[in-house]
A and B are shown apart, each in its own frame.
Chain A
Amino acid sequence: MAEQKNSSILGRGNREGSALVRQWFDELNELAENDGQAAYVFVMGSIGEILQVFDIPVVFPEVNALQTAVRRVSHEYLGEAEDYGYSPDSCGYVKADIGIQLREGEYPMGRVPKPALSVHTNACNIYLKWAEIWQRMYDIPIFTMDVPGTRTAGSQSWPGDRKFVNDHKYVTAQVKELFALCEKVSGVQFDIDKLREILGYANRMNQGWKRVLELNQNRPSLFNALTDGTVFLGITNVYRGTEIGAKYFEDLVEEMEYKADEGIGTDCEEKYRLLFVGVPCYPIFRRFNEMFSNWGGTFISSTYLWFASGGNNFGFQYDLNNPIESLAEGILISVRDAMDSMFFQDQVLVKMVDSFQADGIVYHPVKSCRTVSTGLLDNRRAVMAARDIPSLFIESDMVDRRAISEAQLKNRIDAFFEGLASRRERS
């Protein structure tokens, strides 16, 4: 009986997650082949809850771009964008997408539908420029959900605070304006009961995602935040506000709780528990992880799982009795949290060193993303000053192989683990 449960539940999150993402790509491919259109959105605040109300399918150009890297063809797309005029120093995701657009949507997963509109937050400034590019290419409406972030470290305002009111009113106004735009684009009327239903699904997903991340405090860790975590992250983004997404995360919590109860960890025999700060190295995604797992290093958490889920890790729960105001509140708090995870994450990391019993921190800034990478060196200094914990600082890229030196990475990683081992011996 126990064995039966083992085989049905263990690895379910990865199996079903991969299948669901594949299904999503296939649906988009079919849409594109039938000349259908979608909303182009971004991971740091997709505002998927609103788009679902109007039955507008979503395309994540960041996900498409990383697929070109994982499938090892990103250089082709980057080259085409650079030939078009974009600088080698511009964001690789943008250039990979431009390459895709120049190929009429053709990419390794099939074909991407053309945009009917773009919705983006200000969590990344490049989102704004990226959307402007599509506006010029396709003459489509683009909408900025402008979310004021945290002004100074630790000064977040909350509902009931005087300083929260102005930000909340601003986001609420934009939510209503986006309703009007979506009605116009889709021809579907706004339905508040449908919004309630979608927010209910999002609540279940948010709760599950928060719980899954907390559960990895378990020793041994239950999932690899870099590899398994990226599958889970995909579902938080593409199935946001859906029953499928809600159920997936409830099942995932069940799987992780089961593993915790049974003392089952990841495939890697855990010797060193690591926190990951930055963006994954998609062009050598598996190999990058192996450089750590070969030494018994497991990634127990990652800031990427926070900001790239648009702050869903915060676990915000919408008030279904007051859906519009609460939606604005949720967008404001969650997207702000995503931005905090990039700019003000040092104190959270210090706390996690203790609560997750981390042995080391891996900082991985990337050339393509200045949002995430600019302050990591300083962040590292602050965390190291607060806690006696070893850290590794390695640079590469999330999409551009030209910025990745595998041999150099391996040397640095090996030296890091040798240091960890001798530190452990000494203690």
Chain B
Amino acid sequence: MDQAVFTEWHDKNLDDILVECRLLIEDLEFPTLRRWRQAGGKVLGHFQVYCPEEIVHAAGMLPFKIRGASLQPMQADSHLGSYLCSILKTSFELVLSGRIELDMFVAQPICDAARNLAAVWGRNFSYPCEILYLPQNATSNYSIEYLRGEYDRFRQDIELLIDREISTDELCNSLVLFNQNRALLRTLYAIKRETPWLISVDEVYLLLAVGGLIPREEHNDLLQKAIPLIRQRTSTPQNKPRIIFEGGFCEQPPLDLLQSISQVCYVVDDDLFIGLRWILEEVPLNRKDPLYPLAEAYLESSSYSPVQHDLRKPKEKMLLKRIEESAAQGVIIAAPKMCEPALDEQVTYTYALDKTKIPYIVSEFEENMNDFDHLEMQLETFIDNLSFEKGVESDG
């Protein structure tokens, strides 16, 4: 599609670009989606965490990352059980209320609640709703080949929807585009890690989160404009501790919560929207079989999250690696309320951090929360302790 769907940031300075990004991600009418559809485009909605969006893009569709919303799940509550995380309900509320319209829905069995989504969705909407089975036995000799086949099945289902074949050239072009996107995001995160005073966690989040709402071509343009502007900032380092935020792989914390955190510390790395940054290296182009390297990259050069089971990536070791690589002094181990994978992993993380004597706080959040008093207090005490420890170390 030639027509851009998100132009509000054009010709603006960095602060105003960030304002436009915030307005977009908080707009419950999802204007970019509407514009895309009004221009005749089809939309594939995929629930967190990872989706091979390249295949969707190659079909000329908009891959739309469903990430819940800050609204009350009035209708969804009569379809879904109690004791569930908020994102599951609010995501379904978005379609039940007509705020978003899709042509296809895909979910991965990331957790016991989310693996029900495709079935629930499919009972209520006539468009294709399916489960994409990403491998949970990452070390089987057949896993890559299996995933390649699963991607091919996914491709064929999309082809049925668009009523044409997706060509190899289209797939390769999409791979190039998404490689560029991930490279730009890596640069953005490198700036945050190396010079955190130039860009805060909430600002990076804004630039990252819009990626799931707009075509990647536009996201790349946005990042290419924003990154040099970030580097031109003249902010100077402040006396804030370097912190990791862990727990944002699926349900997203409120932006105001991230702002509160950024006021007292530098978040030098995180797992927010990790699915958009899942693949860590450039996916090589294989014109004979472009899906194979994409499958290989999912398993062999990827990040980690509590919802992926890979014996080669014990979560606590991956967290320690993240801490080491970003020279962090402490960790906020957060979990969305009722999110079993994150809550279970909190235990693992805390035991590992205790053992290595890395300071941390444990906290729960919900996408709809607007009172952060408790967390702010917890954070202040944590930061005080960190500063004290730092002081003792330097005194000693």
Contact = CB atoms under 8 A, between A and B. Distances in A.
Contacts of B338: 89
Interface size for chain B: under 10, 10 to 19, 20 to 34, or 35 or more residues?
35 or more
B340 interface: yes
Given A163-B153, A375-B116, A370 B131 contact: no
B109 A149 contact: yes
Interface stretch (A7-15, A122-130, A219-227, A291-299): A122-130
Contacts of B115: 125, 343, 371
B82 to A, nearest CB: 6
Contacts of A94: 344
Contact of A89 (B131, B157, B340): B340
Most A CB within 10 A of own CB, among B78, B80, B314: B80
A398 to B, nearest CB: 13
B82 A367 contact: yes
Contacts of A367: 82-83
Interface in A115-148: 122, 124-126, 128-129, 132-133, 136, 142-146, 148
A29 B123 CA distance: 47
Interface stretch (B57-65, B135-143, B175-183, B217-225): B135-143
Contacts of B347: 84-86
Interface of A: 84-87, 89-91, 94, 122, 124-126, 128-129, 132-133, 136, 142-146, 148-153, 163, 165-167, 169-170, 173-174, 177, 342-344, 346, 365, 367, 369-371, 373-379, 381-382, 395
B80 A378 contact: yes
Contacts, number: 165
A173 B123 contact: no
Given A152-B130, A169-B146, A367-B82, A374 B140 contact: no
B344 A86 contact: yes
Interface string B331-351: 000010110110111111011
Contact of A378 (B113, B120, B136, B315): B120
A136 B335 CA distance: 21
A91 B343 CA distance: 11
Contacts of B137: 143-146, 174
Contact of B128 (A87, A152, A169, A173): A152
B307 interface: yes
Nearest to B146: A170
Interface string B146-165: 10011001000100000000
9 contacts: A89-B83, A90-B340, A125-B115, A142-B311, A146-B135, A169-B142, A169-B146, A170-B142, A375-B120
Given A122-B109, A170-B140, A174-B137, A346 B81 contact: no
A128 B344 CA distance: 11
Contacts of B71: none
B229 interface: no
Interface of B: 78-84, 88, 109-113, 115-116, 118-120, 122-124, 128-133, 135-137, 140-143, 145-146, 149-150, 153, 157, 306-307, 309, 311, 314-315, 335, 337-338, 340-341, 343-348, 350-351
A152 B118 CA distance: 7
A138 B382 CA distance: 33
Contacts of A369: 112
Contacts of A132: 309, 314-315, 348
A165 to B, nearest CB: 8
Contacts of A122: 109, 136
A13 B123 CA distance: 39
Given A125-B307, A151-B130, 10 more contacts: A87-B343, A129-B309, A129-B340, A146-B137, A149-B109, A151-B157, A342-B116, A365-B81, A371-B112, A378-B79
B77 to A, nearest CB: 9
Contacts of B120: 374-375, 378
Contacts of A144: 136-137, 309
Contacts of A382: 123
A395 B110 contact: no
Contacts of A151: 118, 130-133, 153, 157
A256 to B, nearest CB: 32
A370 B140 contact: no
B259 to A, nearest CB: 27
A139 to B, nearest CB: 12
A377 B79 contact: yes
Contacts of A373: 81, 83
Contacts of B141: 173, 177
Contact of A370 (B112, B129, B157, B345): B112
A144 B142 CA distance: 13
B199 to A, nearest CB: 33
A170 B311 CA distance: 18
B153 A166 contact: yes
A146 B82 CA distance: 28
B149 A166 contact: yes
A164 B367 CA distance: 39
Contacts of B149: 165-166, 169-170
A358 to B, nearest CB: 20
Contacts of B130: 151-152
A152 B121 CA distance: 10
A146 B140 contact: yes
* Complex A-B, nearest 9 residue pairs according to Cβ-Cβ distance, in ascending order: A166-B149, A173-B142, A146-B137, A371-B112, A170-B146, A375-B116, A374-B116, A370-B112, A85-B347
